[in-house]
Structure 1
Amino acid sequence: MLIDILLLLVGFVALIFGASKLVDAASSLAAKMGVPSIVIGLTIVAFGTSAPELVVNVFAALKGSKEMVMGNVLGSNIFNVLGILGISAIIFPLTVKTNTTWIEVPLSFLAAILVFVVGADVLLDGAGANIISRSEGIVLLLFFLIFLAYNLIVAKGGAADEEIETKEYSNFAAIAFIILGLAGLIIGGRLIVTSAVSLAEMIGLSERVIGLTVVSIGTSLPELATSIIAVRKKNVDIAIGNVVGSNIFNIFLILGVSGTIVPLTLQENTFFDILVNILAGLLLFIFIFTGKGRQLERWEGFVFIALYIAYLSYLII
């Protein structure tokens, strides 16, 4: 068990290091090619923060660990809202911009509902099993392309005003770091899936619970770090935009890719997690309009953290 825990930790370090180096190097190359800063942020940086979840889910799907696939996506989204936004709001109240309020937060909520719609085959169609099929995975990917196009249109219209800082590397160094970053992602993702499955078997927890807790929190560490740094710099819209964007990426891109690789059979208890994810998205939208202006206030952050602790306690007990 100790070896599996160590391998899991090594996997997380390799995964996050790989994602960080890949983003830095790719951003450096893109900046040298004259790609606008905001486009780099909406594509390379956004993909980079979601890369850990994506790589872990690809390996889990290839290994046939379907419960871990769903657990990682749903667990990451729940942690993003209740955990990361809860912590961020406690540090500093989060003011939410108009676009985020009326388009991105509702879209994130609708994406959470869409997971229920595509997965509830027994309830909605009277089918024999609840399955996210390859065709539904492709549909999710098409939604992702629409979301990406929306982001680029918003950026082109000048609605996004945040500059993205890029590191400067020589072309050779950038390419070397891209290769190193990809290697870190691949090695880390494989170690995480293998050791997490082994740990689940040893301690008697299901792959679903391991995916919803240890794996999802670990793969969400880049979003946590990004949001806390943004809040401390008073760039509060980046904190909430980062989380909401990540949740949309997780469902449309990562779940879409996973479902396209292998059809995902959903267990009955997975629908509890789907409903918690929907509730978290609904609460986020409601909390924005309570209190002063469009803000997530400190007391709402404490509510989010309390709900997340209650959810984790329920899973473990």
Structure 2
Amino acid sequence: MLFALLQAIIGLGLLVIAGDYLVKGAVALAETFGLPPLLIGLTIVAFGTSAPEFFVGIDAVLRGAPTLALGNVVGSNIANSLLVLGLPALIAPLACSAPRLNRNMAIMLGATILFIALSAGGALVFYEGLILFAGLAGYLVYSGLRARSNPAVAAEFLDLPEVETDDAANPRKKLLKSLLFVIGGCAGLVIGADLLVSGSVFIATSLGVSEAIIGLTLVALGTSLPELATSIMAAFRGHCDVALGNVIGSNIFNLLGVMGVTVMVGSVPVPDSFFEVDLWVMLAASLAVFPFTLRRGSVGRVAGLFLLLFYGAYIGWIAYNGMHMANVAAQLS
């Protein structure tokens, strides 16, 4: 049990570090080959924030633990809306006055409702994965067209990470370092996802709880760490609009991109328990932020505390329900 927990923690650490290196390397490669910065921002950078969830989802399905993949995405979106916004709001109010915020928030809510509707059949299958991924493609095309026609929109995609080299004028050295970052990042993500999933499955089996519960808690919280770190640093630096934009973009990519590709790899059953609580908590968490963007105000400390209490209550309910189910299973065995 202790070894499995250590395995999961190491896997989480690898996912966070490898994802960062993958994005830096991919951006540098794209720049080397002359891809437009706007295209880089809309694809590579945006995908990179959801890379841990993506690799965990694929690995979970291939390992025969698809509900862990489902729990990871649903739990990550809940953590993003409540924890990743709530904690930075205690540091500094999160501004909700950035342009296009309402539009992107509406897209996130639409993606959430679409995901819930598709899940109503009891399982997500290949063609539904195509629908989700098509929604992501449409979102990227729409964002790209608006960004091209509006320089202010384009600016948000041009803050790209750079690969530092000892000699920036040496293109061959930069290309080699970029390739190493990409290859190492991909390898780290694959290994990290495998360690996290295998450790999580063992923990779930040992505790007698479902893989979905582990996905909603341990795995979801771990894969949300990059977004949490980004939001906290943004709050400390006074760039509070970055925190909210980061959460909205990540949630959209998780639902449409991560689950879209995961479901195309293998079908994902949706347990009844998700329709009893988890999917509705995800929707409620998204709706909890919407009033702030609608009136273009800010998420202050009181609101941040409310979001954190909401998240704490949800995690508390999962822990109580998981222990209850484990006790019932133990009595029946």
TM-score, length of structure 1 as denominator length: 0.92
- Is residue 128–residue 260 contact of structure 2 (8 Å, CA) maintained in 1? yes
Of 113, 116, 130, which aligns to 1:138?
Answer: 130
1:210-260 Cα shifts (integer Å, max 9, x gaps) = 000000111111111111122222222211111100000000011111111
- Counterpart amino acid of 2:155? D
Q: Aligned-pair distance for 1:98?
A: 5.1
Give the ranges of 4+ consecutive aligned residues of structure 1 lying more than 6 Å apart after TM superposition. none
Of 227, 234, 246, which aligns to 2:250?
Answer: 246
Q: Which residue of 1 aligns with 2:47?
A: 47
- Is residue 97–residue 293 contact of structure 2 (8 Å, CA) maintained in 1? no
The whole-number CA distance in structure 1 between the counterparts of 2:236 and 2:146 is 26
Identity of aligned residues (%): 37
SS where residue 275 of structure 1 aligns? helix
- Whether 1:233 aligns to 2:221 is no
List gaps (5 residues or longer) in structure 2: 166-173, 321-333
Q: Aligned-pair distance for 1:289?
A: 4.2
- Is residue 41–residue 164 contact of structure 1 (8 Å, CA) maintained in 2? yes
TM-score, length of structure 2 as denominator length: 0.88
Of 178, 199, 203, which aligns to 2:203?
Answer: 199
Q: Aligned-pair distance for 1:43?
A: 2.0
Q: Which residue of 2 aligns with 1:218?
A: 222
Q: Which residue of 2 aligns with 1:168?
A: 164
- Alpha carbons of structure 1 residues 42 and 298: separation in structure 2 relative to 1, 3 Å: farther
- Whether 1:299 aligns to 2:293 is no
SS where residue 49 of structure 2 aligns? helix
- Counterpart amino acid of 2:284? L
List gaps (5 residues or longer) in structure 1: 122-129
Q: Which residue of 2 aligns with 1:11?
A: 11
- Whether 1:257 aligns to 2:261 is yes
SS where residue 160 of structure 2 aligns? coil
Q: Aligned-pair distance for 1:41?
A: 2.9
How is 1:280-299 mapped onto 2 (pairs within 5 angstroms)? 280-289=285-294, 293-299=296-302
- Alpha carbons of structure 1 residues 160 and 89: separation in structure 2 relative to 1, 3 Å: farther
Q: Which residue of 2 aligns with 1:125?
A: none
How is 1:27-176 mapped onto 2 (pairs within 5 angstroms)? 27-97=27-97, 99-121=99-121, 130-156=122-148, 157-158=150-151, 159-162=153-156, 163-169=159-165, 170-176=174-180
- Counterpart amino acid of 1:138? L
SS where residue 269 of structure 1 aligns? helix
Aligned-residue Cα RMSD (Å) equals 1.6
- Whether 1:311 aligns to 2:314 is yes
The whole-number CA distance in structure 2 between the counterparts of 1:288 and 1:224 is 20
The whole-number CA distance in structure 2 between the counterparts of 1:25 and 1:132 is 33
Q: Aligned-pair distance for 1:37?
A: 4.0
- Is residue 28–residue 168 contact of structure 1 (8 Å, CA) maintained in 2? no
The whole-number CA distance in structure 1 between the counterparts of 2:113 and 2:20 is 31
